[in-house]
Amino acid sequence: MNKRKIAVIGGGAAGMLAAGYAAYLGADVTLFERNTLLGKKLGITGKGRCNVTNNCTPEEFIKNVTANGKFLYSAINRFTPEDTMEFFESLGVPLKTERGNRVYPESDHAVDIVLALKNYCLKNGVHILTERVTDFIKKADEEGALDGVVTEKRKHTGFDAVILCTGGLSYPVTGSTGDGYRLAESVGHTIKTPTPSLVGLTSDDEICSATMGLSLKNIAIAVTDTKKKNKVIYKDFGEMLFCHFGISGPVILSASAHLRPMEKDRYTVAIDLKPALDAQTLDRRLLSDFDKFKNRNFANAFDELLPSKLREPFIKLCGIAPDKKINAITAEERKRIGTLLKNLPVTVTGFRPITEAIVTSGGISIKEIEPHTMGSKLCPNLYFAGEVMDLDAYTGGFNLQIAFATAHAAAEAAVWQ
């Protein structure tokens, strides 16, 4: 029996797993990658350590998928986070689980994951071509089915199935520049407008530029939405960073996934600088500090309470003269200070550009994709895997798990169809 011929477009996380697995299942697979190296983005994931998955159940995984989690139900139950861990360990990459169930290679080197996937492809006989795909070629005799692809170098025909894994629009230097959207559109697919997710937030507030570079650990944030009567729409605890453009860092990146639609000045991030102290305990702490420093100027009131870079801008926000004596601070002023310490507001003006986002929200509409097979409902032998689809999740290894689970489902369907 002739082997099924499969073209996989994109040699990132999804493409390498799809190609290697389809070849393992017996197909004759050609993997097209536009870069000279495979897995360029994968190599910089997790700050070079690659948070390869999240050690959680499929149910917990789906709760962490921000857009269209239910679509992944079938794929994730057939290739669970546990399967991802077993897969990489079977390829000779020992893993470890850290805080928040984040899974990393024991070596802390993302390159080990890239090499494991590349070797998996080579071991199973995948032909790797470093060519950029620019178009699809349709079969003459079947309705809408694909015969092959056009690359910048030549035409490749005679394929039984094509798996499109070209990623989203974020970090385009790694190769994900939106080619997949154009290819999918050429066969009738709808693209949900790509927007940045897991990205820094811009703000014009002086506190950001004044404290640029300051990283705050163990803070809490509550994000409110003015269009929903200032309802709190997201809460988190952890680490954040003030930058020249506004705010960033882990809790801010996670919050960004909830700020949809993004509109200037619609959302406010209230930072609780002292989450371990409730309002009353904090007031007692202020009273005690103010008593200790009663003869000092207000400018020096927070020497033991706030990081040095934050003190001056914070004092400005309090609206109290820096040269006022601490023993002259009124109860009403102290209350205002307490409120600010628990709710330091940063008004959000927008997202940083998609080129800086960890993931792209939006992409090929999942309404036109069969969730069990990742097959196109519009083009008989076209399949999708990874970030090119309208799927995205929080940080924590969930986005790579989306890539692996969808690649696994697409490979099986493309081979067994």
Residues that bind ligand FAD (CB under 6 A): 9-15, 32-35, 40-42, 44-46, 50-51, 132-133, 165-167, 170-171, 174-176, 179, 358-359, 386-388, 397-400, 403
Residue (29 or 400) nearer to ligand FAD, CB: 400
Instruction: Give the shortest CB-176-to-ligand FAD separation in angstroms.
Output: 4
SS3 for 192? Answer: strand
Do 411 and 163 form a contact (C-beta atoms < 8 A)?
Answer: yes
Bridge partners (DSSP) listed for residue 246: 202
CB under 8 Å to 224, separation ≥6 — which residues? Answer: 230, 231, 232, 233, 267, 268, 270
Instruction: Give the shortest CB-151-to-ligand FAD separation in angstroms.
Output: 7
Question: Could you tell me where the beta strands, DSSP code E, fall in 245-320?
Answer: 246-248, 267-272
Residue (236 or 387) nearer to ligand FAD, CB: 387
d(CA 106, CA 89): 10
Residue (22 or 346) nearer to ligand FAD, CB: 22
Residue (14 or 22) nearer to ligand FAD, CB: 14
Residue (300 or 355) nearer to ligand FAD, CB: 355
d(CA 414, CA 417): 6
Six-digit token string for 240: 């954040």
Residue (122 or 287) nearer to ligand FAD, CB: 122
- Going by C-alpha positions, the residue among 13, 42, 11, 22 that lies closest to residue 131 is 11
- Going by C-alpha positions, the residue among 144, 161, 142, 72 that lies closest to residue 414 is 161
**Burial letters for 214-223: b for 16+ Cβ neighbours within 10 Å, e otherwise?**
bebeebbbbb
Bridge partners (DSSP) listed for residue 32: 9, 129
Instruction: Give the shortest CB-60-to-ligand FAD separation in angstroms.
Output: 15
Residue (197 or 268) nearer to ligand FAD, CB: 197
Q: Which amino acid is at 405?
A: A
3-state helix, strand, coil in the chain (%, to 5): 40, 25, 35
Name the phi and psi angles at 47, rounded to 5. 55, 45
Instruction: Give the shortest CB-359-to-ligand FAD separation in angstroms.
Output: 5
- Asked if residue 275 has a cis previous peptide bond (ω within 30° of 0), the answer is no
Instruction: Give the shortest CB-399-to-ligand FAD separation in angstroms.
Output: 4
Instruction: Give the shortest CB-40-to-ligand FAD separation in angstroms.
Output: 6
Instruction: Give the shortest CB-378-to-ligand FAD separation in angstroms.
Output: 19
Residue (288 or 355) nearer to ligand FAD, CB: 355
Any idea what DSSP says for residue 93?
-
Instruction: Give the shortest CB-356-to-ligand FAD separation in angstroms.
Output: 9
